[in-house]
Structure 1
Amino acid sequence: MMLNNSKNREILQLAIPSIISNVTVPLLGLVDLSIVGHIGNEDYISAIAVGSMIFNVMYWLLGFLRMGTSGMTSQAFGREDTMECIRILVRSLTIGLAFGLLFILTQGGLEWGLLRLMNTPEASWEYVTIYFQIVIWGAPAMLGLYSLTGWFIGMQDTRTPMVVAILQNLVNILASLSLVFVLGWGIAGVAVGTLLAQWIGFLVALLGAWKRIHKVNGLQNKQGLATETWSRLVRVLSVKAAWINFFLVNKDIFLRTLCLIVVNFYFTSAGGKQGAMMLAVNTLLMTLFTIFSYVMDGFAYAGEALSGKYYGAGDKQGLHVTVRNLFQFGFLMAVVFMGIYMIGGTGFLHLLTDDNAVVEAARPYLPWACFIPVVGVTAFILDGVFIGLTDTKGMLFSTVMAMVLFFIVYFVFRDWLANYALWLAFLSFLLMRGAASMLWMRFFSTIDV
């Protein structure tokens, strides 16, 4: 039996907590979307869509804080280099918190520029502004949590991020519901609930990392602990060559993430040009992609941790078996999710909003969204493997190829198919990412998988 394989047990031990964690992550957005879907019309839904995309644009650019940290940490873990694991976390956290502070200091310019770039519908402008001006204060927490999550994954620990994610969502749900329906704060209540969840999640994760560092480093006694910790921190921050290497390793991830942002930004923007109703339709349907992506990211995270560990330890056989088994799990999940979406997609849309006009407008596009799992599964699995191996050029190559195809398909068919062309282009994008990743792995990668 496949599931009796020891490598599969390793995958599941890492993937299941990650799946639980990742399924709860989109709830931060889905809770916001559901609340505004029941307190207002498409203008409220559009405001959350634009507001969420603005922060995605800002944070996705720094996605290497999670991905790069995970890959480098897992390889150091495989080499049993504990101190290097700690140094990687300190560098990553420093960068994340610094950028978070920068976003807060420049929030005026970010708000002015991004709201216009997003083609924000005029009716939604006021609500987006309220949401942005509150949630921006969570930037350091979110970026710091990126670093911590990547570090925990690299350390073969996906349970801590799971606990943090569940806690975040409990805080978000309770706070948002109380502030909106009890105190009547409207969309400001949704934003404050999200902000509280972000900071509480970051602080809990930071405490977990602090305890683990002390445990693995044998620093159990409190005497001299602060001095020793500060001394090591100063040494880590002062090594120039290590900082240069950190950024070089993550350069491809940054550029790849920029390509993803361009596609996602244009997808939302093109929907916004068609009006608030079509923007609301695309937003609701993209939740199907969001849910599948976070489930598949659970297996991708397992791929990051295990691929990096086996590569760092020089175990080629373990690496090969891990990649093969990841694909077995991935294709199984793709078939399951496609079936679920075909059967229950319409009912899910009704859970998100009681605006029947939006649901009816979304119904013709639902079959397109149902194909997301099948066309996207390969890209998810290989992204995890590339990150674990720090073979990030493969990720960049596949995403650039896919982005080019996205725009070719859309501009060729948009006058004929309108919003259908947008969905055709998006599915083509996902399919090309997987195909180009396989091409890179087979012919261009310097690492034998």
Structure 2
Amino acid sequence: MSPTSQRILHIAIPSIVSNITVPLLGLVDVTIVGHLGSASYIGAIAVGGMLFNMIYWIFGFLRMGTSGLTAQAYGAHDLPEVSRILLRSSGISFLLALALLILQYPIRIIAFHLIEASPEVRELASLYFHICIWGAPATLGLYGFTGWFIGMQNSRFPMYIAITQNVVNIAASLFFVFACDMKVAGVALGTLIAQYAGLFMAYLLWLRYYRPLRKYIEWKRVFTHEAMARFFQVNRDIFLRTLCLVTVTVFFTSTGAAYGDVTLAVNTLLMQLFTLFSYIMDGFAYAGEALTGKYIGARNRTELRLTVRHLFGWGIALALAFTLLYGIGGKGFLGLLTNERTVIEASSAYFYWVLAIPLAGFSAFLLDGICIGATATGIMLKGMAAASAGFFLIYYGLNASLGNHALWLAFVSYLALRGMVQAWLIRLRKSN
């Protein structure tokens, strides 16, 4: 194996382990409520989880921007700036979390105006939301820590944190749901406790292994006008790009809910397979972030080109492997998530869309990572905007004749367009 692939795997493998545990948070929640005897429980977790995806993805720049900026500072051996970036990101994270806690009721009211769901699903999802929103400080704080660790070429610590969160979540959720008979509220409490366990571990790891960096901190330079202007300039495009992503995701879930609780449950279960693939691909995207930023900071164009080439080699191999895996065992996997026969039977009509996702979407994940590391966030935004426009054009053009199939076709096309437009823009930029 080449040294370039070894460096990629050194970051990607721990990232894959940690990222694959992230959908386990959702899988555990869906699996627990999937055995409570009603499709509305699955729908409530889907809607409640979608609300938090909508909220937290908007602030995804706290992780992505921190990663790219930290990696470039690390590559340039600028340790004072490395230290200041973490403080900058953490400070902004907690201010934003405070705003979310203060505005939780209007946020929930506005969100449910945008989501079509049955009264029972709406009531259960509201309960889930008002418990889990208190995890905002932990979640946003972890965005900053995770991005910073990855930028420092250290993906092991996010892995330790993710494993801790999942162990705590599984234990707490099972206890509250089955021992205390709390159902959806128990799932929410388990998630909340796990979020703060993760933040506490992140701080302990930083304190144990990065404490010497404190000597580089100059507090008067942490939140200077120039530093903050650069931070938000880099993250502006990520923020707008994330708004597009959230819009597509919210529309996908809310439109599925409008087709009925069974269709909503089907879409939720099938999307777990996409989520599983996406977090594994994100492991290699994180490697792209860290190594691209490092080599740009160090002005090493040779290693940068080799890294990109090897990343795509791994991406193609993973896409083919997942297509085969889902083709062989995907339907059996759905049976592990729920024992509702009506939901499992209804999923058969849509399962082939899941098989198209890996090859359609792998390049979008890799190019996102490369652009984040290069802080070329304008390319990310343009690619996402074009793909989002394509999503809505396809859905509204075919909805009358295809229904929920039009929704899935639009989603798969959206994934493919993201990668295609980004690749074209990068080639165009190089030619200029």
RMSD: 1.3
Q: Which amino acid aligns with 1:152?
A: F
CA-CA distance at 1:308 after TM superposition:
0.4
Pick aligned residue for 1:270 from 234, 255, 260: 255
Superposition TM-score, scaled by structure 1 size: 0.94
Pick aligned residue for 2:389 from 404, 408, 411: 404
Partner residue, 1:225: none
Matched, 1:313 2:298: yes
Q: Which amino acid aligns with 2:93?
A: G
Q: Summarize the Cα distance change of 1:208–1:123 in structure 2 as closer, same or farther, 3 Å threshold.
A: same
Distance 2:164 2:330 in 1: 28
Pick aligned residue for 2:419 from 428, 434, 437: 434
Partner residue, 1:222: none
CA-CA distance at 1:214 after TM superposition:
1.4
**Identity in percent:** 49
Where do 1:11-160 residues align within 5 Å?
11-160=8-157
The 8 Å contact of residues 399 and 407 in structure 2, kept in 1 or not, is answered as yes
CA-CA distance at 1:339 after TM superposition:
0.5
Matched, 1:254 2:251: no
Pick aligned residue for 2:270 from 277, 285, 302: 285
Distance 2:186 2:170 in 1: 11
Unaligned runs of 5+ in 2: none
The DSSP-based 3-state class of the residue aligned with 2:200 is helix
Superposition TM-score, scaled by structure 2 size: 0.98
Matched, 1:207 2:207: no
Q: Which amino acid aligns with 2:11?
A: L
CA-CA distance at 1:40 after TM superposition:
3.1
Distance 1:181 1:445 in 2: 57
CA-CA distance at 1:446 after TM superposition:
8.5
Q: Which amino acid aligns with 1:432?
A: L
1:12-71 alpha-carbon deviations (Å, 9 max, x no partner): 000000000000011111111110001131100000000000001110001000000000
Matched, 1:166 2:163: yes
CA-CA distance at 1:357 after TM superposition:
0.5
Partner residue, 1:381: 366
Aligned residues: 432
Q: Which runs of 4+ in 1 moved over 6 A?
A: none
Distance 2:223 2:246 in 1: 33
Q: Which amino acid aligns with 2:427?
A: R
Distance 2:404 2:87 in 1: 45
CA-CA distance at 1:120 after TM superposition:
2.6
CA-CA distance at 1:445 after TM superposition:
5.3
Distance 1:444 1:122 in 2: 50
CA-CA distance at 1:150 after TM superposition:
0.3
Where do 1:214-233 residues align within 5 Å?
214-216=211-213, 232=218
CA-CA distance at 1:216 after TM superposition:
4.3
Q: Which amino acid aligns with 2:72?
A: Q
Unaligned runs of 5+ in 1: 220-227
The 8 Å contact of residues 90 and 236 in structure 1, kept in 2 or not, is answered as no
The 8 Å contact of residues 65 and 235 in structure 2, kept in 1 or not, is answered as yes
Q: Which amino acid aligns with 2:281?
A: M
